[in-house]
Amino acid sequence: MVNVLLVDDEPKICEFIKACLDVENYNTDVSHDGKTAIDYFDNNSYDIVILDRMLPDISGEKICEYIRKKSNTPIIMLTAKIEDEDKIDGFKLGCDDYICKPFNVVELVYRIKSILKRSLDLKETSSIKFGEEFELSKLSPELKIRGEQIVLTLTEYKILLRLASNPKKTYTREELLENTTESYYEKIDRVIDSHIKNLRQKIEADSSKPKIIQTVYGVGYKFGL
């Protein structure tokens, strides 16, 4: 289910947009002012925000800045301001797209779909996820296990990344050493066992009964999720 936050002070426009998003089976929360929009955003999870630039209490610019300080949630800004400078200012604030009023709602829906697809593709390619239990970044040594951030050494990260990238494959110690360790000393294959032990202590619910990094006796290790 796609969750949308729609922020516009014109009820008729909101009704029309929401009706079109309902057809797409999107769940849409509607706010007609900035304060309510911020409350919605702080207490819910949204896949995209459609934001009017001119609101009665808090400007769309301020709300865009507020969201950007907290999240990378995509933002489409709706506005009656049509000058190029206004559009440029909108992008500088951090919006992902800019649509001038009056607009074609069918075009808006397709822009939403396009942005959501890019956002989803980025999420899928930038991390390795297994349910809610495991999320490992492909870009930096960042790991979240069972909702908790885990600090990894660079070597631990490289080992785990290699295992998680191909969970069906069993790696020998030599294969894990090949691109994960730097010093000559660490090229001794049994050193990998020490790294695995440290990893298990950090990431397993019970390191004596490992489920994430499994031993394949006589061969090496594999990813177990």
For residue 67, the enclosing domain spans: 3-124
186 has a pLDDT exceeding 50: no
- DSSP-derived pairing of the beta strands 3-7 and 48-52: parallel
Given a cut of 70, whether residue 59 has pLDDT beyond it is yes
- Judge whether 31 and 37 are in contact, CB under 8 Å: yes
Instruction: State the pLDDT at residue 50.
Output: 94
What pLDDT shows up at residue 185? 42
137/119 same-domain check: no
- Give the pLDDT mean for 128-152: 84
Pair 51, 145 in one domain: no
Residues 151, 187 within the same domain: yes
Q: What is the mean pLDDT of residues 36-41?
A: 94
Q: Is the dihedral of CA 185, 187, 192, 198 positive or negative?
A: positive
Q: What percent of the chain has pLDDT over 90?
A: 21
Whether residues 111 and 149 share a domain: the answer is no
Same domain as 99, residue 42: yes
Helix, strand, coil share (%) of the chain residues, nearest 5? 45, 20, 35
- The whole-number pLDDT of residue 16 equals 92
**How many domains in the chain?**
2
Q: Does pLDDT of 34 surpass 60? A: yes
Do 160 and 114 share a structural domain?
A: no
Q: C-alpha distances in angstroms, 28 versus 15, 19, 97, 150, 199?
A: 10, 9, 19, 34, 42
Which has more confidence, 206 or 168?
A: 206
On whether the pTM is more than 0.75, the answer is: no
User: Cis (ω within 30 of 0) for the bond into 102?
Assistant: yes
Pairing of strands 75-79, 48-52: parallel
Percent of the chain exceeding pLDDT 70 equals: 88
What average pLDDT score do residues 8-36 get? 92
CATH assignment at residue 39: 3.40.50.2300
In this predicted model, what pLDDT tens digit does every residue of 197-213 receive, in sequence order? 889 999 888 888 888 89
Q: Are residues 144 and 215 in the same domain?
A: yes
Average pLDDT (7-13) is 92
The two tokens of residue 217 are: 């006796």
120 shares its domain with 135: no
